[in-house]
Amino acid sequence: MAVQDHCVIVGGSIAGLLAARVASEHFSHVTLIEREQLTDHDGPRKAVPQGHHIHALLARGQQILAELFPGLVADLEADGVPVGDFGTSLSWYFGGQMIRKVQTDLTCVAAGRPLFERHLRRRVEALPNVHVETGAEVTGLRAGERGGRVTGVGVHHVGSGRAGTYLDADLVIDASGRGSRAPRWLEQLGYPAPEEDVVRMDLVYTTCDFEAPLEFDPIGDDIALIPVATPELPRGAIFARLSDRYAVSLTGILGDHPPREMDAFLRYTASLPVPAIHEAVSRATPMGPPASFHFPASVRPRYDRMRRLPEGMVILGDAFARFNPVYGQGMTVAALAADLLRRHLANGPVRSVAFARDLGRLVDAPWNLAAGADLGFPGVQGQRTVATRLGNAYISRLQRKASHDPHLSRTFLRVAGLVDSPAALLRPDVVARTLAA
């Protein structure tokens, strides 16, 4: 396998760290550039405004990370992170009904974002051919004649007074998240801006951490209670046991936003379809005031539909597709992209258009699951098709039947965990059980 010389990764969050791990196998040198100073402190980073809130690593993401970082789950467990089965450690509620708990043999890891990211960063920084450069930002791309190949990046060292520098690169990976400048950089090289798919739901997350142990604990040895918002019951929540605390993330859309004032926060929990959550937190001690995060819309720039892209550059993570965080898909889709990048690099230099198209096909399933569910709410803005409407009606019925059918529950959870494709929901045995009187 040929080894290329230098890979530059823009962005030091989870997508960037996973890309660095994969690139380290195929490049002599890997430079990861991150504007923020990365430290091992316990709190969320300023550049990750959603870091205060509960994060989910879905089952397929856990499988990929276990391959890339052997022993990671064991290390997290040793750090106090709850680990359990995706189908028995989580209590899933749809329309106020809990679907049957069932063994899935899929692992759920309940690490908060700062702790999870810290474990990944330590492992990546320990790789001998990876250099993490903090306090720096990429100012633009350098390209060859007619912008056909990216040859490097310009770098500005924030607040240092140093002159800007230039780094040669055989491959540039944009993992800079929702603030990605890739559309502008591509336009500067003579490429059109990508079309965008947008689903506007005006989501607000409000999260409060509580001291452990709880006076009233409805979770016990499990990991979380999750009443998922539905059009009939549009207020949702995640109530989770973390390594050193409990946390409640309340969700509201279309202007019905969970408040940050504590009394109002508790009144909001009382409106949830799972009364045990309100009983638990109303008798618990907050570790600080609630924090909110506004997510106006899911956005998917359609790089996968572009007929031409410069060679020597790929885009992944939230820069490629930004999902409604309620569904917990972001970290797992970043892991899927890293796994795809690994397979492309195994065949030689990455072809930009081919990678974007393959990643687009991978993103289709989680995007359709999340966007389809959001479009079930009448006030959400986005393109609805007949397939979207029929799919929402069918999945709603399946979820109701899954409250007493373990086969449907297991099938749904494997799809929600991105282990099986959505086509599994349309197998004849599943359809028959769903549509049965």
Average pLDDT, integer, range 253-265: 96
Decide which of 56 and 356 is more confident: 356
Q: Which of 142, 186, 421, 150 is nearest to 301 (CA)?
A: 186
Q: How far is CA 379 from the centre of its chain?
A: 24
Are 409 and 87 spatial neighbours (Cβ–Cβ below 8 Å)?
yes
d(CA 399, CA 391): 12
Q: Which of 342, 344, 294, 302 is nearest to 321 (CA)?
A: 302
Q: Which class is 4-57+114-195+302-371 in CATH?
A: alpha beta
Provide the pLDDT confidence category of residue 351 given band limits of 50, 70 and 90: very high
Q: What is the pLDDT of residues 134-187, one digit of tens each?
A: 999 999 999 988 789 999 999 998 876 676 889 999 999 999 999 999 999 999
pLDDT attached to residue 53: 61
Paired sense of beta strands 4-10 and 27-34, if any: parallel
Stated length of the chain: 437
Q: Which of 12, 11, 7 is nearest to 27 (CA)?
A: 7
pLDDT over 80 at 24, yes or no:
yes
Give the Å distances, CA to CA, from 406 to 102, 228, 271, 327, 415. Answer: 6, 19, 28, 21, 14
d(CA 52, CA 59): 22
Provide the pLDDT confidence category of residue 34 given band limits of 50, 70 and 90: very high
**Domain residues of the chain, as ranges?**
4-57+114-195+302-371, 199-296, 385-435
pLDDT attached to residue 43: 56
Residues 32, 175, 257, 416, Cα dihedral to 10°: -120
Largest CA distance in the chain: 72
Helix locations, 307-419, DSSP H = 330-345, 352-374, 386-401, 406-416
pLDDT attached to residue 298: 97
Average pLDDT, integer, range 339-356: 97
pLDDT over 90 at 216, yes or no:
yes
Q: What is the pLDDT of residues 80-133, one digit of tens each?
A: 999 999 999 999 999 999 999 999 999 998 887 888 889 999 999 999 999 999
